Amino acid sequence: MKDYAIESALPSRHLIGDYLVLAKPGIVSLVLMSTLTGLCIGSRGLPDLWITLLVMTGVGLATAGSAILNNYVDRDIDRIMERTRSRAMAVEAFSPRNTVITGSLLVIFSVLFLLTSVNSLTAILTGSAAFGYIVLYTIILKRRSSFANQVGGIAGALPPLIGYVAVTQRIDLTAVLLFAIAAIWQQPHALSIALKYRDQYEAAGIPVVPVAKGVSSTKKRISVYTALLLVVSITPFISGTAGLIYLIVAITAGIYYLGLAVKFMRSKRDCDMFLFFYSILYIVMIFSAMILDMV
């Protein structure tokens, strides 16, 4: 039997810290920020502190569990890719059995926690996000199809919807618009980072769009998605969900984003990390503007 030295040698307090790293705290933080956006929009201002703590706890645990299971499933390809080869599962720091048990328990507990402390719709959406990310994206599609990011993007777009539903207990037009903006935004955001690590994905046999369709096709898709995002981002104003402040920010930030994408498409560069980092700033700006319009 293989000896997983870190698990056997470290005291429990250090072991917990290493499992926290395995849970990808950066991703957890981004998901919680998106969830908080939905909570604020659903509350039309600052949400109730107690419901916020409950939702953030449940979603945080579900995200951490999903990340741990993702590390387990991807441990073989993580050893191949330079940017991931130092991850704990890639270097066999933890036993696969303990990792699977820990990740699964976190996801199951989080769904049950949200079911009993918040509402059933919030629990269902959280469970769906975890299932979409772990099973549909990581296990089934990631190694087989260039469409994996579209499915993964759906799971990644659910946190704002989860936060909104936790407060309103319904899926209405505002909820659909929040989800649509987040889902479309996921695509150019993910494609930008896929371009940067295209060679590593190819070496690992992962058919991301830049590998399966080529760099030129990927750059065109980024432009198409950013154009679609500009159009969809205006709909909250048209529907009355958001006001003039939001409209100005959405149009200004969206036109600039599209301009960057078109400029990149016409260039000879294979990667543009400024476009990637701007995508993060963009989603923060328009969601912040939507919240400000409601305060």
14-32 pLDDT per residue, tens:
555 556 667 777 888 889 9
Let me know whether 176 and 163 are in one domain.
Answer: no
Let me know whether 204 and 263 are in one domain.
Answer: yes
What is the model's pLDDT at position 9? Answer: 44
| Both tokens assigned to 107 | 């996801």
Asked if 77 and 204 touch (Cβ cutoff 8 Å), the reply is: yes
Let me know whether 105 and 180 are in one domain.
Answer: no
> Which residue ranges in the chain fall short of pLDDT 50?
1, 3-13
Q: Is residue 2 part of a domain?
A: no
CA 156 from centroid of its chain's CA atoms: 4
Last residue of a domain, one of 123, 150, 169: 169
Asked if 71 and 99 touch (Cβ cutoff 8 Å), the reply is: yes
Last residue of a domain, one of 117, 137, 169: 169
Let me know whether 288 and 159 are in one domain.
Answer: no
203-261 pLDDT per residue, tens:
888 999 999 999 999 999 999 999 999 999 999 999 988 899 999 999 999 999 999 99
Let me know whether 176 and 164 are in one domain.
Answer: no
Let me know whether 19 and 140 are in one domain.
Answer: yes
Last residue of a domain, one of 169, 190, 217: 169
What is the model's pLDDT at position 89? Answer: 60
What is the model's pLDDT at position 11? Answer: 47
Q: Please give the mean pLDDT across all residues of the chain.
A: 88
Helix, strand, coil percent values for the chain (each to nearest 5): 80, 0, 20
What is the model's pLDDT at position 93? Answer: 62
What is the model's pLDDT at position 212? Answer: 93
**How far does the chain reach from its first CA to its final CA, in angstroms?**
59
Asked if 224 and 267 touch (Cβ cutoff 8 Å), the reply is: no
Let me know whether 206 and 285 are in one domain.
Answer: yes
Residue 107's domain comprises: 11-169
Tokens 């979409």 correspond to what residue?
132
Q: Is residue 108 part of a domain?
A: yes
Domain count, the chain: 2
Kindly write down the DSSP assignment for every residue of 67-126, as one continuous string: HHHHHHHTHHHHTTSTTTTTSTTTTT-S-HHHHHHHHHHHHHHHHHHHHHHT-HHHHHHH
CATH number at residue 39: 1.10.357.140
3-class DSSP assignment, residue 248: helix
Let me know whether 245 and 162 are in one domain.
Answer: no
Let me know whether 83 and 140 are in one domain.
Answer: yes
Let me know whether 164 and 228 are in one domain.
Answer: no
Check: pTM over 0.85? Answer yes or no. Answer: yes
Q: Is residue 4 part of a domain?
A: no
Instruction: Tell which residue, 229, 224, 246, has the closest CA to residue 237.
Output: 246
Q: Is residue 6 part of a domain?
A: no
Let me know whether 184 and 71 are in one domain.
Answer: no
Let me know whether 199 and 271 are in one domain.
Answer: yes
